Amino acid sequence: MVEIQPQKAACLERSETGRNPAILYSFRRCPFAIRARLALAAAAVQVELREVCLAAKPPELLAASAKGTVPVLVLPDGRVIDESQEIVRWSLEQAGRSWPDDGLAVQLIASCDGEFKALLDHCRYPERHPNGDASAARQQALTLLRQWNQGLLDGPETSQRSELQWLILPFLRQFRGLDAERFALEPGLEALRGWLEPWLESPALRAVMASPWGERRAWHSPSWLYHLTLAQEWRQAKRQGFYPWSTRGMTLQQVGFVHASWRHQVAATYRRFFADAAEVVLLALDPQAIANAGVPIRQEPAPDTGEWFPHLYGPLPMGAVVLADPYPDDACGAA
């Protein structure tokens, strides 16, 4: 019997691959992450994508960048690039291409990442701005976009550069998505819409919004533990605020501990015990939160196979559940 130290948990998982590609922490819908994926895909950079649920950031992301925001690119030599513009710049260098540095491009990039992004956030999250006016923020954003529109009319060749599209259009797409019908009728945005609309249907955007560049389920960290449960039992536990189960059909009181798995053991555990169940949920557990709740985690061999599994000697702390995903499924859920 081996006591598991939460900070050492990640090293207990077997290596999955001998290769060491760049690692990209991303969130599928984030415009900063979309711009990074567009540039990396265009430069044919091989990456291991790690999709992040922002409500449950994996410890590996926080270790790479204390900001805890996406995108974060970890290069094979260990260098970290955690600003989206810098990931684009690095990708362009790999492809032998140049940063868009003409006057209009510089103006658009600065305006997009500065004033426009602030107004966009105000429109999307009015509850975060209790003293503000979302309607006024939208009108200010439209005034800014009309200035962009005029700039495109003055220099239309600039807008055809894919580098500038990566940097600007993910944010314009997000603004349009707030009310697409209304956006389509706004006067003074004709050139801007003519720039955006074809891009929305472009192969480049479709590629980075689909697997393997844009996953719908969060990456499962090897630093976490995992527990499979029936969906109805998890729903009941959330209502009651207490999880009584050890494994399928058996309670903690009956068994004496809660069965858990390392990431590489989940698929086999599912096939053996849950494959015939209609709805199954995979719980991702934070070992440090379990330890903080005073529940020991012990590494013990299964009696029939001798394979070692982590066991929780006490009730599963509800606060230690960082993700609750349908399994198997492509949908990302939060605990």
Where in the chain are all domains bearing CATH 3.20.170.20? 225-326
At residue 197, the pLDDT reads: 96
185 pLDDT more than 70: yes
pLDDT at 161: 87
Write the CB contacts of 11 (distance below 8 Å, at least 6 apart in sequence): none
pLDDT at 11 over 70: no
261 has pLDDT over 50: yes
**Angle subtended by helix axes 190-200 and 134-154, to nearest 10:** 90
On whether the pTM is more than 0.75, the answer is yes
Fold held by 20-223: Glutaredoxin (3.40.30)
> How large a percentage of the chain has pLDDT more than 90?
81
- Between 150 and 20, residue with greater pLDDT: 150
- Residue 240: how many CB atoms within 10 A of its CB? 10
pLDDT computed for residue 332 by the predictor: 43
Q: Please compute the mean of the pLDDT values over residues 295-324 and round it to a whole number.
A: 95
Q: What is the mean pLDDT of residues 258-282?
A: 96
Structure confidence at residue 159 (pLDDT): 73
Higher local confidence (pLDDT), 131 or 163 = 163
pLDDT band at 36 (very low <50, low <70, confident <90, very high): very high
3-state SS, one letter per residue, for the chain: CEECCHHHHHHHCCCCCCCCCEEEEECCCCHHHHHHHHHHHHCCCCEEEEECECCECCHHHHHHCCCCCCCEEECCCCCEECCHHHHHHHHHHHCCCCCCCCHHHHHHHHHHHHHHHHHHHHHHCHHHCCCCCHHHHHHHHHHHHHHHHHHHHHCHHHHCCHHHHHHHHHHHHHHHHHCHHHHHHCCCCHHHHHHHHHHHCCHHHHHHCCCCCCCCCCCCCCCCEEEEEEHHHHHHHHHHCCCCEEECCEEHHHHCCEECECHHHHHHHHHHHCCCCCCEEEEEECHHHHHHCCCCEEEEECCCCCCEEEEECCCCCHHHEEEEEECCCCCCCCC
> Is the per-residue pLDDT at 214 higher than 80?
yes
What average pLDDT does this structure show over 153-166? Answer: 82
Of 36, 48, 41, the C-alpha closest to 95 is 41
Output the pLDDT for position 247: 96
User: Looking at residue 39, what is its pLDDT?
Assistant: 98
Beta-carbon contacts of residue 299 (< 8 Å; ≥ 6 apart)? 1, 2, 3, 4, 12, 308, 309, 310, 311
At 128, the pLDDT band (50, 70, 90 cuts) reads: confident
Of residues 270 and 129, more confidence is placed in 270
Considering only residues 152 and 176, tell me which one the structure prediction assigns the higher pLDDT: 176
For residue 46 the two structure tokens come to 């091989």
**Lowest-confidence pick of 13-17, 67-71, 130-134:** 13-17
For residue 241, the one-letter residue type is: G
CB 298 within 8 A of CB 311: yes
pLDDT score of 8? 42
Which pLDDT score is estimated for 165?
Answer: 95
Per-chain mean pLDDT for the chain: 91
Distance of CA 317 to the CA centre of its chain: 24
pLDDT greater than 70 at residue 285: yes
Instruction: Extract the tokens encoding 186.
Output: 């706004």
Contact criterion met (CB below 8 Å) for 115 and 144: yes
Q: Residue 326: is it exposed, middle or buried by C-beta count within 10 angstroms (0-12/13-18/19+)?
A: middle
Say whether domain 225-326 belongs to CATH 3.40.50.410.
Answer: no
- pLDDT at site 17: 43
pLDDT of 3 reads 62
Confidence at residue 14, expressed as pLDDT on a 0 to 100 scale: 33
Q: Which two tokens stand for residue 331?
A: 């949908």
The per-residue pLDDT for 15 is 35
pLDDT (0 to 100) of residue 330: 45
For CA atoms 180, 185, 190, 192, give the dihedral sign: negative
Asked whether residue 6 carries a pLDDT value surpassing 90, the answer given is: no
**Those residues with Cβ within 8 angstroms of residue 18's Cβ, 6 or more apart along the chain or in another chain:** none
Location of each CATH 3.40.30.10 domain in the chain? 20-223
The per-residue pLDDT for 156 is: 62
pLDDT of 303 reads 86
Q: Tokens standing for 33? A: 């992450």
Pairing of strands 308-312, 250-251: unpaired
pLDDT higher than threshold 90 for residue 66:
yes
